[in-house]
């Protein structure tokens, strides 16, 4: 893991280095690191957010810490997309803006594992000590953004927490007989939703998260299904999920240097859809109402409503009616 520390004083930059500084939304670079960015590294007056010259501006003067976080998240996403550059993060917000390192450093939790981001001295330790608790709704909202989840980030750590809960609950589900009422109660705990009384399942069932599955009325899930639901699995009314279906909402980042990171996209299964046995549905796929997916198919693209699809990759065989 990258342990680079941003120097306290930066007087020059290598061609691939980017000076990351705290700004204001107006882009008035009158003091502190912003002045250095303007005088030395080409930051443009009037540009207060994002890339500018050989710099990256993160506004910190518009309110509390909560107003800074979206801009930090945007920066991290930008840095993830530009691995050819090395980003030297200065103590943004800890000078003129008046925040403490303990307040700002945890915002960069997701950057700790990135090999192209250098952080100020002590910030990695502050990130490690951060005990920020993410609610399930916050988790779902974060996953819905589609932004990458970097290995070792706070969100990645949250994944592991949910995985341990899922292992415990699925072991209970799969280890002995439960009445339909008992099973719905266990699934309600696993999925953190109110599972409808009309829902049905034949265990065993497997998941490595469980906190982003949503099911409608009269949905039935058959034996042996595996849901990787971090990115969101949405199953509409009257859908039938066949034996050993696998639904995958995550992909690892192709870049070997960032391979521990992941990108999530949701799966949507429409009303009255029937997935045959051993079907695999990949991330980002929507299956339209009334569609049928033949046994063994691998679905990597959207399926039209009323279509019958099959094969690897799945293709339309014919339309219903």
List active site positions: 252
Rounded to 10°, the helix 154-175/180-191 angle is 170
CA–CA dist 110, 26 (Å, integer): 27
Q: What is the 8-class DSSP label of residue 112?
A: T
Torsion of CA 258, 254, 162, 244, to 10 degrees: -160
CA–CA dist 297, 245 (Å, integer): 10
- Residue 289 contacts residue 303 (beta carbons within 8 Å): no
Angle at 79 between CA 75 and CA 83, to 5 degrees: 175
Q: What is the 8-class DSSP label of residue 167?
A: H
Pick from 66, 73, 30: which is nearest to 48 by CA?
Answer: 30
Sheet of 267-269: strand order equals: 213-215, 233-235, 267-269, 286-287
- Residue 165 contacts residue 209 (beta carbons within 8 Å): no
Residue 234 dihedral angles phi and psi, to the nearest 5°: -120, 115
CA–CA dist 22, 55 (Å, integer): 11
- Residue 34 contacts residue 17 (beta carbons within 8 Å): no
């Amino acid at each position: 893991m990258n342990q680079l520390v941003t120097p306290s004083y930066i007087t020059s930059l290598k061609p691939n280095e980017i000076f990351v500084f705290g700004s204001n939304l107006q882009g008035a670079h009158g003091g502190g690191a912003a002045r250095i960015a303007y005088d030395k590294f080409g930051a443009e007056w009037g540009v207060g957010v994002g890339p500018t010259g050989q710099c990256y501006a993160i506004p910190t003067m518009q309110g509390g810490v909560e107003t800074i976080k979206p801009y930090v998240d945007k920066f991290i996403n930008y840095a993830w997309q530009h691995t050819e550059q090395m980003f030297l993060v200065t103590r943004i917000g800890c000078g003129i803006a008046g925040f403490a390192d303990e307040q700002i450093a945890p915002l960069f939790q997701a950057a700790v594992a990135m090999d192209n981001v250098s952080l100020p001295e002590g910030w990695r330790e502050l990130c490690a000590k951060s005990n920020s608790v993410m609610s399930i709704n916050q988790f779902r909202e974060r996953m819905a953004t589609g932004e990458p989840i970097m290995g070792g980030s706070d969100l990645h750590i949250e994944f592991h927490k949910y995985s341990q809960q899922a292992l415990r609950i699925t072991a209970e589900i799969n280890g002995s007989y439960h009445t339909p009422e008992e099973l719905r109660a266990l699934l309600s705990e696993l999925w953190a939703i109110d599972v409808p009384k009309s829902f049905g399942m034949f265990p065993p069932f497997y998941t490595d998260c469980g906190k982003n599955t949503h099911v409608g009325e009269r949905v039935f899930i058959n034996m042996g299904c595996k849901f990787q639901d971090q990115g969101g699995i949405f199953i509409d009314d009257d859908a039938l999920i066949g034996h050993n279906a696998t639904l995958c909402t995550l992909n690892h980042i192709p870049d070997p240097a960032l391979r521990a990171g992941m990108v999530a996209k949701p799966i949507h299964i429409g009303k009255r859809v029937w997935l045959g046995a051993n079907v695999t549905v990949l991330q980002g796929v929507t299956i339209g109402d009334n569609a049928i997916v033949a046994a063994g198919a691998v679905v990597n693209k959207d399926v039209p409503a009323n279509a019958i699809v099959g094969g690897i990759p799945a293709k339309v065989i014919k339309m219903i009616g």
